Amino acid sequence: MKDQVQLVLKDSIRDVRGEQVAARVKNYLGYDTGIIRTGKVYTIMYDLNKKDLKQFAQTGLADEILHDIYINAFYKDSFYRSYILISKLPGVTDDEGMSAQKTLSDMMGMEIDTATQNIFSHDVYYFGNKLDREELAEIAEKLLGNPLIHHFEYGKSLKKVEYIPLVRIKKPDKPDVINIFEDDEELLRLSRDMLLSLNLQEMRAIKSYFKQDQVMQSRIRRGMPANPTDCELEILAQTWSEHCKHKEFNAVIHYRNLETGEELEINSLFETYIKKATQIIMERLEKTGNNWLLKVFNDNAGVVRIDEDTVFVWKVETHNSPSAIDPYGGAITGILGNNRDPLGTGMGGAKLIFNTDVLCFGPLDYNKELLPGQLHPRTVFSGVRHGIEDGGNKSGIPTVNGAIIFDERYSGKPLVYCGTGGIMPSRVLESRTWEKRISAGDIIIMAGGRVGKDGIHGATFSSAEIDENSPQSAVQIGSPLTQKLLMDFMQEAVQLGLIRCSTDNGAGGLSSAVGELAKISGGALVNLEQVPLKYTNLKPWEIFISESQERMILVVTDDKKEILFKLAADREVELSDIGTFTDTGFLDVRYNNKRVALLDLEFLHEGVPQKMLEAEWIKPDLEEPQLPEITDYNKILLDLLASDNICSRESVIRQYDHEVQARTVIKPLMGPEGKAAQDAAVLRLTYDGFEGIAVANGIHPRYGDIDPYQMSAGAFDEAVRQIIAVGGCLPEVTEASNRFWSVNDNFCVPDSVYDPVTNTDGKLKLAKLVQMNQALYDMSTYFNIPMTSGKDSMKNDFRSGYAKISVPPTILYSMVAKIDDVRKSVTGEFKASEDLVYLLGRTHDELGGSEFYRLFGQLGANVPVVRKEKAKWLYKKIAKANELRLLESCHDISDGGMLTTLAECCIGSGLGADIWIDGFQDIPLNVIMFSETHSRFIVSVKQENRQTFENIFVHDGIFLGQITDSPILTVSYGKKIIIESSIEDMTKAWDKGLEK
């Protein structure tokens, strides 16, 4: 029994979505669709009588001002000559249908099952022009949906909708026992067939563990077979996945530098560089009474102290592989998933106060033929952007800043970095909120969404290369509404002292979440039949490793359980008691009282064999290019402003809510017309105080083509200097300032494991990774900025047949620092005419990897080199100048060099500037204008402060000119005016960059 209701916009209502689709089809595919009319169809599986159905349609679903309603009938108008119907595939999140169910229950006062999908939503597009099937299919698959999650129907006129995405799975057989006492070939086949993504060495380790006499006897005693069950193998595969165990970052690496002859044996990049650096910094901080570094590396996110009463928790992650195949779903689950990290740190329930997102895409005008399974960068860009919009906006978390980088090598796999920060009170009922405490006997509660087949093998999938046969279960769509309810509930429950601690369900699902927490108490017992499902007939191991979204694990003591469940019912959040923590030393998993897995925690967590890898550095053979003589610098300026990596991100930023919670003091766009791009975001922490934080991101993949060490060091410096620019002060290790700084390091690299056939330059790639880590160590210990969390994503290659598109080795440093008084922060745009303009920091002949060279299709050799001693010296002077309120504006110099930065200061302020280039001695003009030398700033100063300013900076500040009311940027060199460009022209160029 089913009913259908269709809603179509009334003739009098402008169909803006239809117009938008028509324009996109025209721009991207070149078809003229004619006028497009959009509609919705709801398939209702509940039994409703005619009267109720009519009332539900009229008041529940339709807006009487906007819609015409058709009940068990469909809109007809001969004006429209073709249509596309889009339904979701079985099991794909359908929030709209779910909300319709809730409103039905509210309206009719009906006790109906609203937790499983009973109303399905479909979208209809009617086209004025007659389009053939191929054209409709192209529109549907490229612009309106994705075949991995959608079902499409096409035709002339819609007469019926028969497709209903009900999930049907046949009843599973009883749990399997997998014979692993086999030879190597069979072990590899098992790993491949079961999608375990375990290598031979790892399969052998499992085999020899199960073969041990002691293990066998112990298993038999406990009623388990000698061989592992399917569930046990799946748990091992999840726990040992690259995603969870970071096997390459923990490998033994034999590193040879053929440039210097240096040879090194590195026992774990993580231990040697990241962890060690943070430990050194921690010691220095603690020695001087700086006690703000509270938690590093051993929870979902790191924690630092803001003040006596409040702590700050944050994490940056990537969601690259899912975004490559379903950009919208990949990005939204990326955001929501990353939100759950700070939300599930310590006790949990942090108030999330910002998102920051850094995205790397192929160029929007990519014109190579697409490989099977490869999406056009434009499709990826628009889907990812939309996912970030919904993920942030619908959760009430402002997206405060970010970056977008274009490079052809991201056209196979994009990089989608999602960062989230939150605040927690430092104590709840006398307990420290950042600590995780669990005792045997504590109850395991699953909270939030239900479990389906979503993302099964997701963790293993992201560790493998994508190919055209990537399994569909890898795609998931997040439900921001489900998570918002869960998040609000958790915040409330934690404040009430109902939750002991919590963690998120991410990669590996329950198996990882419970498996990790079980380490604290020393064991866990899980009853899988207690886990609520989206649909029946899931196998036990599927329930245990499913990555269905919007779920958290809450650890609760028995006396709090009842009141917690009551609160959850009031907040419409589903909770289930799925087991208890124990101290047996085992992860004990049961289904209807029958054991399906019994794994020794020590073997589970420590049994994975260490990898041995080879790295070999060969310096690339590069030289500086010979450029044609430049006659028209105005054109170069406008070309730079319009280039991919420099142009305005306004069209993207405006679609992100960057102000919800009313904390942002420096927003991504400032100034009189909202055109002033800023270096770092500044947020206020309370509504009656002025303490705040600054958030910045440093990323420079192009420099890595010349020198990965300098690329990594430069990205680190960029993040530091952006915070300096907005008014930050470097952390002190000489006195107790208790002003925290924290960095999240995020490595995204191509497959860096050498293989003589499939990855011939693997050793070089790994050497690059080593150098990136060396720079991280040198920079962080020099500036005393600890890595409080981080992430690595190791297989960013897109393969299709023999073709492979690999990302360039990329590192993102995301940084947050405490700001004492947000009212004293400094924005980048100019403030008033007649102020004096200065360049701070020395310029070097470093055009290698610059945007200027890129205009000419050149790479060059002289990469910007970080001079950290000089940088620190300058940053301290800037802090001093800010203390005296000398800087009216401060904008860091990065992509495009000095000229681009000057132009941005003008565009953002509506003010012009007269710039004279002298005082650079014999540095060539192109270098002065376009070199991207690090650690430099454009600042402006009131005339009356000139002397005080120059006394502080002396030779570190070069006088450039003066700000003018006339809206023109003029640059003179010698006696010649080489640039004369109006703000209008510059803005026009800058604004149009993303319109490809």
Partner 1 sequence: MSRVKTLIITGFGINCEVETAAAFKLAGAEADIIHLNDIFLRKYSIHKYDIITFPGGFSFGDDLGSGKVLANKMKYKHLVSGKLFLDELMDFLFDGKYILGICNGFQFLVKMGLLPNINGDLSQEVSLTHNDSARFEDRWVYCKVTQNLKSPFLRDIDVIYLPVRHGEGKLVIKNERIKIEILHNNLNCMSYCSNDGIITSEYPHNPNGSELNCAALTSTSGQILGMMPHPEAYTSLYNNPNWAQWKRKDPEISEEGEGLKIFRNIVEHIKYKKD
Smallest gap from Cβ 382 to partner 1, in A, equals 12
- Are 302 and 815 in contact, with CB atoms under 8 Å apart? no
| Contact residue for partner 1 among 39, 60, 228, 383 (CB under 8 A) | 60
Contact characters 646-675, partner 1, x per CB under 8 A: -------xxxxxxxxxxxxx-x-xxxx-x-
* Helix boundaries (H) for 92-229: 95-108, 133-139, 184-193, 200-211, 213-221
Smallest gap from Cβ 674 to partner 1, in A, equals 6
| Contact residue for partner 1 among 14, 168, 221, 976 (CB under 8 A) | 14
DSSP 229: B
DSSP 888: S
- Return phi, psi of residue 715, to 5°: -65, -40
What number of chain residues touch partner 1 (CB under 8 A)? 70
CB atoms within 10 A of CB 347: 28
Using CB under 8 A as the binding rule, the residues of this chain from 921 to 950 that contact partner 1 are none
| Distance, CA of 201 to CA of 206 (rounded, Å) | 9
Smallest gap from Cβ 669 to partner 1, in A, equals 7
Distances (CA, A) of 961 to 943, 947, 955, 968, 972: 11, 15, 16, 13, 10
Smallest gap from Cβ 286 to partner 1, in A, equals 34
Q: Which is nearer to partner 1, 299 or 657 (CB)?
A: 657
Contact characters 250-269, partner 1, x per CB under 8 A: --------------------
**How many angstroms separate the first and last alpha carbons of the chain?**
48
122 binds partner 1 (CB under 8 A): no
220 binds partner 1 (CB under 8 A): no
Stretch that binds partner 1, among 78-86, 641-649, 829-837, 867-875 (CB under 8 A): 829-837
98 binds partner 1 (CB under 8 A): yes
Q: Which is nearer to partner 1, 494 or 772 (CB)?
A: 494
Smallest gap from Cβ 139 to partner 1, in A, equals 17
Q: Which is nearer to partner 1, 661 or 800 (CB)?
A: 661
333 binds partner 1 (CB under 8 A): no
Using CB under 8 A as the binding rule, the residues of this chain from 884 to 903 that contact partner 1 are 888-889
DSSP 177: B
| Distance, CA of 709 to CA of 925 (rounded, Å) | 27
Q: Which is nearer to partner 1, 3 or 888 (CB)?
A: 888
CB within 8 Å of 883: residues ≥ 6 apart = none
- Are 483 and 490 in contact, with CB atoms under 8 Å apart? no
Which helix (H) or strand (E) is 383 found in, with range? helix 377-393
Q: Which is nearer to partner 1, 230 or 390 (CB)?
A: 390
Smallest gap from Cβ 536 to partner 1, in A, equals 26
**Structure tokens of 765?**
């790639």
Stretch that binds partner 1, among 386-394, 434-442, 799-807, 850-858 (CB under 8 A): 386-394
758 binds partner 1 (CB under 8 A): no
221 binds partner 1 (CB under 8 A): no
| Contact residue for partner 1 among 31, 74, 99, 758 (CB under 8 A) | 99
Q: Which is nearer to partner 1, 217 or 651 (CB)?
A: 651
CB atoms within 10 A of CB 10: 13
Whether the CA torsion 421, 423, 426, 429 is positive or negative: it is: negative
688 binds partner 1 (CB under 8 A): yes
402 binds partner 1 (CB under 8 A): no
Stretch that binds partner 1, among 394-402, 747-755, 867-875, 920-928 (CB under 8 A): 394-402
102 binds partner 1 (CB under 8 A): yes
Helix axes 509-521, 230-239, angle to 10 degrees: 80
- Looking at residue 616, its amino acid is E
Residue 225 zone, left/alpha/beta (φ > 0; ψ -120 to 50; rest) = beta
829 binds partner 1 (CB under 8 A): yes
100 binds partner 1 (CB under 8 A): yes
Q: Which is nearer to partner 1, 485 or 983 (CB)?
A: 485
DSSP 731: P
**Structure tokens of 249?**
């970052």
394 binds partner 1 (CB under 8 A): yes
Q: Which is nearer to partner 1, 572 or 995 (CB)?
A: 572
Distances (CA, A) of 518 to 254, 414, 436, 582, 585: 34, 35, 11, 8, 8
- Return phi, psi of residue 684, to 5°: -90, 145
- Return phi, psi of residue 990, to 5°: -65, -40
Using CB under 8 A as the binding rule, the residues of this chain from 466 to 525 that contact partner 1 are 479-481, 484-485, 488
Task: Give the number of C-alpha atoms closer than 13 A to the C-alpha of residue 616, restricted to the C-beta side.
Answer: 9
Smallest gap from Cβ 690 to partner 1, in A, equals 8
Stretch that binds partner 1, among 16-24, 234-242, 448-456, 708-716 (CB under 8 A): 16-24
| Distance, CA of 511 to CA of 523 (rounded, Å) | 13
909 binds partner 1 (CB under 8 A): yes
Tell me the DSSP string of 465-496: -B-TT--GGG-----HHHHHHHHHHHHHHHHT
Q: Which is nearer to partner 1, 657 or 895 (CB)?
A: 657
Contact characters 571-590, partner 1, x per CB under 8 A: xx------------------
Give contact residues for partner 1 (rule: CB under 8 A). 13-14, 16-17, 19-20, 59-61, 63-66, 95-96, 98-100, 102-103, 106-109, 389, 393-396, 479-481, 484-485, 488, 570-572, 653-665, 667, 669-672, 674, 684, 687-688, 822-823, 826-827, 829, 831-832, 888-889, 909
